[in-house]
Amino acid sequence: MTDERLRRSLRVVDSREQPDLQFAEHLHDRLVAELGLGPTPKPQPLGGPSIRRRGRVGWLAVAAVLALGLFGLLLSQLGGAPDRSPPPPIQTTSAAPSAAVAATPSAAPTPEPSPSLIASLDALGTDGLVIFEDGSLNGDQRLHVLQPDLSSRDFIPDQPGLQRRAAWNPDGSRIAYGLTDLTDIRGRTLIWETDAEGSDPHPLSEDCDRPVCLEENDPAYSPDGSRLVFVRTRAANGDDSPQSLVAIRNLESGEVTELEATSRAVSEGVNYHPRWSPDGDTIAYGVAAMGGDGAAVGTTVRLVGADGENDRQLTDPGLEAGDPEWAPDGSKLLVSTEPIRYWYSQNRRGPDRMHLYTVRPDGSDVRQLPVDGLVGGATWTSSGNQILFTYVVAEGANPGLPILYAMDADGSNIRPVSAVYGRPGWYAVQQPVP
Amino acid sequence: MAAPGKDRRLELAKAFGDPAAFRAWYDDAVGRVYGYLYGRCGGDIEVAEEITQQTFMQAIRHWQAFDGRSDSVTWLCSIARHKLADHYREQGRERRRHLQLMVREIEPEVSSPDEAIDDRDAIITALRQLPDIERTALVLRYLDDLSVKEVAALLNRSVDGTDALLRRAKERFRSLYPEAFDD
């Protein structure tokens, strides 16, 4: 019979054809990220045809990487994952030149060991708690609070899951953060809030449900504490075409306003790290742009009015700046170039451009802060007189170890504020003390 | 021996909650799903990879839809079939949501005659030369053994139109690979 012969012929295409190994591994990794399973086991050969090297990385992988901030991977890229053995004595730094340097990347002074400088929380000048994101090697990110002896403790020990991107409210009574619930089969990140003791965690993203709302992350309070700005991933047209946008939640009513001007297809760009200006009128946020092959091709900082109007670019794409943080007086923004998450997706170029800059809200007066090495995750202390940042040890026995540092707002007086014997830390935020 | 449906669901839930278990499940499944798609899209690697990705993403996001009546790879192949139809049909996905997934046990190890294996590349090449919609209709009808009505539903076409489409597809395929019609 003709049809039967046709069937038999076609059945030979039910093949044992194996996928490209690199594709299969990329897909595995993005599925693991989607499931929130954390570090992945070693890949096993799939066999099949010869390996092609086309390196396709879809939006899902990039979005997942950006959302999860895989510090362990970063660390491994930085020259080998540091072990848990005690690192060498604290590497402190000498005071740097007191003035910020001009915009052109220059030979910024390299921190030099200076045993006379002792890491101390007292050096921050205020009593506000310092919460930071633990970049532990297994990717099990948790929020930690620095202790007076420079050790740290789990900030919300009873809450399982991955905690990241903490932000204090203006009076220092509450803290918002992203939480990835690993017991959720979807493993997605939503925004939670707790009190200053970490004893009252409760969700703020209660109405973020599939299929329209996929994820919420990167919260920051408005200057008056009444609203929360964050990044939402939505799928208005189904899961296959998600969009990233900046949104604002009224904490009183729960109403969410999506700033449509910031909406972009995740396949083209991902928003992150939105921050209110001190006057509450403007929101700065980072955008990691995606190329056609799904890999990040650049990052910029943009500004948008809190009313959703006047979305515009702040930093030149060539600067590759992200993680904007407004100075307390609103006169400038602190940005990190090749910010951690972006850097990971851009790892073909390496981490040699992780620097700190300031820039005025009109885009002028771009200045590099005189701290060399691999630095990022910078925030202002609650007083606004100092900058907290992470310095990644590049050499020695513990390459890749991130340590919390501080410096004065002008780039001087560089010093560690967490012990290298403690936890590696990123994105430290200090509690405002009225 | 096939596990009961409940056990299959539990096994899948376990795989989706444990890195090592997921690795093992994925390593077994990805090649079978990709192999299922590869020939059906005429050996188009880009399409096969894209739909493989979509299939797994949908599976982990909507694993609760897995009822355990088939093994999980058969379930994945059912998803892949719909994704493939989605890929080629003109209309959007809305109507697809009303369709019932027809789960058919997929034989993971297809025993093909040697001569058929030798012809495989030629058949895939011939399939590749078909218009997308004709190729999809042909494989759904004669490879997945769906009825004309089911193919029509998947492709969002009328039964009569699908019947005509299948006739055209068969004729074109015959011109490209006449051996498939020689008794």
CATH architecture classification, B5-181: Orthogonal Bundle (1.10)
In a domain, A434, yes or no: no
Helices B72-88, B148-155: inter-axial angle, 10-degree rounding: 60
Q: Is the pLDDT of residue A331 over 90?
A: yes
Tell me which of B36, B37, B40, B45 to substitute to probe the interface with A (most A C-beta atoms closer than 10 Å): B45
Q: What's the confidence (pLDDT) of residue B103?
A: 29
A158 CB near a chain B CB, below 8 Å? no
Of residues A32 and A222, the one with the higher pLDDT is: A222
Q: Is the pLDDT of residue A185 over 50?
A: yes
Q: What are the CA-CA distances from residue A72 to residues A134, A144, A344 (Å)?
A: 10, 17, 10
Same domain, A122 and A56: no
| Closest A-chain CA to B122 | A13
For residue A5, which residues of chain B lie inside 8 Å, CB to CB?
Answer: 180-183
| Closest B-chain CA to A7 | B142
Mean pLDDT calculated for residue range B72-101: 61
Mean pLDDT calculated for residue range A105-117: 33
| Closest B-chain CA to A10 | B143
Backbone Cα Rg of chain A: 22
Least-confidence region, from A82-86, A228-232, A269-273, A310-314: A82-86
Helices vs. strands in chain B: H and E counts, helices first = 8, 0
What percentage of chain A exceeds 70 in pLDDT?
65
Alpha helices (H) along B16-157: 19-40, 45-61, 72-88, 114-129, 132-138, 148-155
Query: For residue B108, what are its two tokens?
Result: 């993971």
For residue A8, which residues of chain B lie inside 8 Å, CB to CB?
Answer: 116
Same domain, A24 and A95: no
Q: What's the confidence (pLDDT) of residue A424?
A: 61
Question: In this predicted model, what pLDDT tens digit does every residue of A144-171 receive, in sequence order?
Answer: 888 776 677 889 988 877 888 899 999 9
d(C-alpha A83, C-alpha A397), whole Å? 9
Q: What's the confidence (pLDDT) of residue A280?
A: 96
Same domain, A150 and A35: no
Q: What is the mean pLDDT of chain A?
A: 73
In a domain, A6, yes or no: no
Confidence at B16, pLDDT banded by 50, 70, 90: confident
Same domain, A62 and A72: no
Q: Is the pLDDT of residue B129 over 70?
A: yes
Instruction: Tell which A residues from 57 to 76 touch B, by Cβ distance under 8 Å.
Output: 58, 60
Q: Read off the amino acid at residue A260.
A: E
Same domain, A228 and A96: yes
For residue A240, which residues of chain B lie inside 8 Å, CB to CB?
Answer: 54
Same domain, A164 and A174: yes
In a domain, A3, yes or no: no
Q: What's the confidence (pLDDT) of residue A396?
A: 57
Of residues B90 and A46, the one with the higher pLDDT is: B90
Question: Among A8, A48, A185, whose Cβ lies nearest the Cβ of B63?
Answer: A185
Q: A239–B120: do the CB atoms touch at under 8 Å? A: no
Q: Read off the amino acid at residue A328.
A: P
Q: What are the CA-CA distances from residue A430 to residues A117, A136, A158, A379 (Å)?
A: 21, 20, 22, 9
For residue B36, which residues of chain A lie inside 8 Å, CB to CB?
Answer: 14
Confidence at A65, pLDDT banded by 50, 70, 90: very low
Same domain, A39 and A175: no
Q: Is the pLDDT of residue A56 over 60?
A: no
Instruction: Calculate how close chain B gets to A57, using CA atoms only, in Å.
Output: 11
Mean pLDDT calculated for residue range A197-213: 87
Q: What's the confidence (pLDDT) of residue B52?
A: 92
Query: For residue B104, what are its two tokens?
Result: 């058919």
Query: For residue A146, what are its two tokens?
Result: 């620095």
Same domain, A241 and A276: yes
Same domain, A48 and A193: no
Mean pLDDT calculated for residue range A98-107: 30
Range of the domain at A19: 14-66
B54 CB near a chain A CB, below 8 Å? yes
Of residues A367 and A47, the one with the higher pLDDT is: A367
Give the H or E element holding residue A288.
strand A282-290
HSE-up of residue A197 (Cα within 13 Å, Cβ side): 2
B28 CB near a chain A CB, below 8 Å? no
Confidence at A63, pLDDT banded by 50, 70, 90: very low
Q: Is the pLDDT of residue B107 over 80?
A: no
Question: In this predicted model, what pLDDT tens digit does every residue of B47-56 receive, in sequence order?
Answer: 888 889 888 9
Bond into A211 cis (ω within 30): yes
Q: Is the pLDDT of residue A408 over 50?
A: yes
d(C-alpha A276, C-alpha A305), whole Å? 9
In a domain, A5, yes or no: no
Of residues A193 and B62, the one with the higher pLDDT is: A193
Q: B35–A24: do the CB atoms touch at under 8 Å? A: no
Instruction: Single out the residue of A373, A432, A434, A428 nearest to residue A406, CA to CA.
Output: A428
Instruction: Calculate how close chain A gets to B1, using CA atoms only, in Å.
Output: 23
Q: Is the pLDDT of residue A364 over 90?
A: yes
Question: Among A13, A44, A210, whose Cβ lies nearest the Cβ of B39?
Answer: A13
Q: Is the pLDDT of residue B178 over 70?
A: yes
Q: What's the confidence (pLDDT) of residue A289?
A: 82
Complete edge-to-edge strand list for the sheet that includes strand A356-359: A321-326, A333-337, A356-359, A367-368
Q: Is the pLDDT of residue B24 over 50?
A: yes
Same domain, A58 and A102: no
Mean pLDDT calculated for residue range A247-258: 94
Instruction: Single out the residue of A260, A225, A229, A220 nearest to residue A244, CA to CA.
Output: A260
Q: What's the confidence (pLDDT) of residue A83?
A: 31
B94 CB near a chain A CB, below 8 Å? no
Query: Averaging pLDDT over each range in A54-63, A142-151, A334-343, which range is the top one?
Result: A142-151
CB contact set of A303 (below 8 Å; sequence gap of 6+):
A282, A283, A284, A285, A310, A311, A312, A313, A314, A361
Complete edge-to-edge strand list for the sheet that includes strand A269-276: A269-276, A282-290, A296-305, A312-313
Question: Among B56, B112, B179, whose Cβ lies nearest the Cβ of A11?
Answer: B112
Q: What's the confidence (pLDDT) of residue A184?
A: 59
| Number of structural domains found in chain A | 2
Tell me which of B27, B73, B127 to substitute to probe the interface with A (most A C-beta atoms closer than 10 Å): B27
For residue B53, which residues of chain A lie inside 8 Å, CB to CB?
Answer: 27, 30, 58, 60
* Dihedral angle sign, alpha carbons of residues B80, B85, B88, B91: negative
Would you list the domain boundaries of chain B? 5-181
A20 CB near a chain B CB, below 8 Å? yes
d(C-alpha A419, C-alpha B51), whole Å? 49
Of residues A360 and A46, the one with the higher pLDDT is: A360
Q: How far is CA A360 from the centre of its chain?
A: 22
Q: Is the pLDDT of residue A370 over 50?
A: yes
B126 CB near a chain A CB, below 8 Å? no
Q: Is the pLDDT of residue A28 over 70?
A: yes
Of residues A344 and A309, the one with the higher pLDDT is: A309
A264 class by beta-carbon count within 10 Å (0-12 exposed, 13-18 middle, 19+ buried): middle
Mean pLDDT calculated for residue range A350-368: 86
What percentage of chain A exceeds 90 in pLDDT?
31
Q: Is the pLDDT of residue B172 over 60?
A: yes
Q: What's the confidence (pLDDT) of residue A226?
A: 97
Q: What is the CATH number of the domain that holds A290?
A: 2.120.10.30
Q: Is the pLDDT of residue A334 over 90?
A: yes
Same domain, A176 and A106: yes
In a domain, A7, yes or no: no
ipTM of this complex prediction, to 2 decimal places: 0.74
Using an 8 Å Cβ cutoff, are A216 and A205 in contact?
A: yes
Least-confidence region, from A158-162, A314-318, B62-66: B62-66
Question: Among B40, B49, B54, whose Cβ lies nearest the Cβ of A23?
Answer: B49
Same domain, A172 and A136: yes
Using an 8 Å Cβ cutoff, are A129 and A422 in contact?
A: no
Least-confidence region, from A47-56, A73-82, A278-287, A337-346: A47-56
Q: What's the confidence (pLDDT) of residue A135?
A: 59
Q: What's the confidence (pLDDT) of residue B147?
A: 82
Q: Read off the amino acid at residue A381.
A: T
